[in-house]
């Protein structure tokens, strides 16, 4: 399986994209709608015109039409051929390769078995459920043994439980086949679960490429940070284990308890909506609870952002309008700040 390299890719949507995808890697292209994710995948497949160069294993494939590039492409809408049954859909790419009939049939059988859709072989797409269509489309894309697999929001049309299940399955399959894969999504959680590395794309620009936790804990700029939900990220001054999977970290004078077992914690992150604010001292143990001062209030359509100073750290909390209106918050007021224990994410020291 080849590595993929994009060199100075330019097009009316993509602006000078340079990206190297390793052999056997699953790279997630992450970005909001309209960022150019699908366009970039189409460029790799050869379905769109572009300037610059696409290299598979160091060899430029720019002159090759899509039919000769050896890519398996799972389209967002799946696009199973409605006039062919499941087996014929899967066979479509094999029949173009002029293989002997027995070989084609053996391959189809193997794929039907691998995707666990053997019982669907003679059904037509209109009689398949969303998850079944998904499997058939994937089997069809994999059938001609492509060198590269391109998955464009493959799970976006499915309900949540099916999605979760298929995600795991897809990842296992990708690892077993060892096929270089580009996976497009706009869902951060999906990206973190699937990716070996994430490439954040915005307005046709590659903003950041890195391991999921690198992108999350070290967003390179505000655009990336905003896209991943603008979490509060705090550097830890010290860290010590309290045993039983709990650690105590110190961040700018705040002593924070985090659920974590393993290496020492370097950074922690918490989303603004996971920080609670109370005017009165809340009952219960004083864990992850601090006194803070409101420095400013920012109202947007969905919620109110509250900037706070707690210890030496600046935090941003967010709450819905109806809760904000029940409280009496103003800049300069002293409040209690509670960090939801289970919502704190940690970045551990790798060494």
Q: What does the binding site for another protein look like in residue numbers (CB under 8 A)? A: 45, 47, 65-69, 71-73, 75, 77, 79, 81-85, 92-93, 96-97, 124-126, 140-141, 143-144
Please say which residue, 65 or 332, places its beta carbon nearer to another protein: 65
Measured from the CB of residue 81, what is the shortest distance to another protein in angstroms? 6
Measured from the CB of residue 45, what is the shortest distance to another protein in angstroms? 6
Measured from the CB of residue 97, what is the shortest distance to another protein in angstroms? 6
Please say which residue, 92 or 336, places its beta carbon nearer to another protein: 92
Measured from the CB of residue 144, what is the shortest distance to another protein in angstroms? 6
Measured from the CB of residue 267, what is the shortest distance to another protein in angstroms? 41
H/E/C letters for each residue in the chain? CCCEEEEEEECCCCCCEEEEECCCCEEEEECCCCCCHHHHHHHHHCCCCCEEEEEECCEECCCCCHHHHCEEEECCCCCCCCCCCHHHHHHHHHHCCCCCHHHHHHHHHHHHHHCCCHHHCCCCHHHCCHHHHHHHHHHHHHCCCCCEEEEECCCCCCCHHHHHHHHHHHHHHHHHHCCEEEEEECCHHHHHHHCCEEEEEECCEEEEEECHHHHHHCCCCHHHHHHCCCCEEEECCEEEEEECCEEEEEECCEEEEEECCCCCEEEEEECHHHEEEECCCCCCCCCCEEEEEEEEEEECCCEEEEEEEECCEEEEEEEEHHHHHHCCCCCCCEEEEEECHHHCEEEECCC
Measured from the CB of residue 63, what is the shortest distance to another protein in angstroms? 15
Please say which residue, 111 or 319, places its beta carbon nearer to another protein: 111
Please say which residue, 73 or 347, places its beta carbon nearer to another protein: 73
Please say which residue, 28 or 45, places its beta carbon nearer to another protein: 45
Please say which residue, 81 or 165, places its beta carbon nearer to another protein: 81
């Amino acid at each position: 399986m080849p590595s993929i390299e994009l060199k100075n890719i330019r097009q009316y949507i993509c602006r000078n994209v340079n990206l190297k995808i390793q052999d056997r890697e699953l790279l997630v292209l992450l970005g909001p709608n309209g960022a150019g994710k699908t366009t970039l995948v189409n460029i790799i497949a050869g379905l769109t015109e572009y300037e610059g160069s696409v290299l598979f294993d160091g060899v430029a494939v720019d002159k090759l039409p899509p039919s000769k590039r050896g890519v398996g492409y799972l389209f967002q809408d799946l696009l199973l051929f409605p006039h062919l049954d499941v087996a014929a859909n899967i066979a479509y790419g094999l029949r173009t390769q002029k293989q002997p009939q027995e070989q084609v049939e053996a391959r189809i059988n193997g794929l039907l078995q691998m995707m666990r859709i053997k019982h669907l072989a003679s059904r037509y797409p209109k009689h398949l459920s969303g998850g079944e269509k998904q499997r058939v489309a994937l089997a069809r894309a994999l059938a001609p043994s492509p060198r590269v697999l391109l998955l464009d929001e493959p799970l976006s049309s499915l309900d949540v439980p099916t999605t979760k299940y298929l995600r795991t399955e897809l990842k296992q399959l990708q690892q077993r086949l060892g096929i270089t894969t580009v996976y497009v999504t706009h869902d951060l959680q999906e990206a973190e679960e699937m990716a070996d590395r994430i490439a954040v794309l915005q307005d046709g620009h590659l903003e950041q490429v890195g391991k999921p936790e690198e992108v999350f804990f070290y967003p390179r700029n505000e655009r990336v940070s905003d896209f991943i939900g603008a979490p509060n990220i705090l550097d830890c001054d010290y860290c010590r284990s309290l045993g039983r999977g709990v650690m105590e970290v110190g961040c700018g004078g705040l002593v924070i308890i985090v659920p974590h077992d393993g290496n020492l914690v370097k950074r922690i992150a918490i989303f603004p909506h996971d920080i609670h604010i109370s005017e009165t001292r809340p009952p219960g143990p004083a864990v992850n609870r601090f006194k803070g001062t409101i420095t400013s209030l920012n109202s947007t359509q969905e919620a109110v952002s509250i900037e706070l100073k707690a210890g030496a750290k600046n935090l941003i909390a967010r709450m819905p309008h109806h809760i904000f209106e029940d409280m009496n918050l103003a800049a300069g007021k002293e409040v209690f700040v509670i960090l939801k224990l289970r919502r704190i994410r940690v970045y551990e020291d790798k060494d």
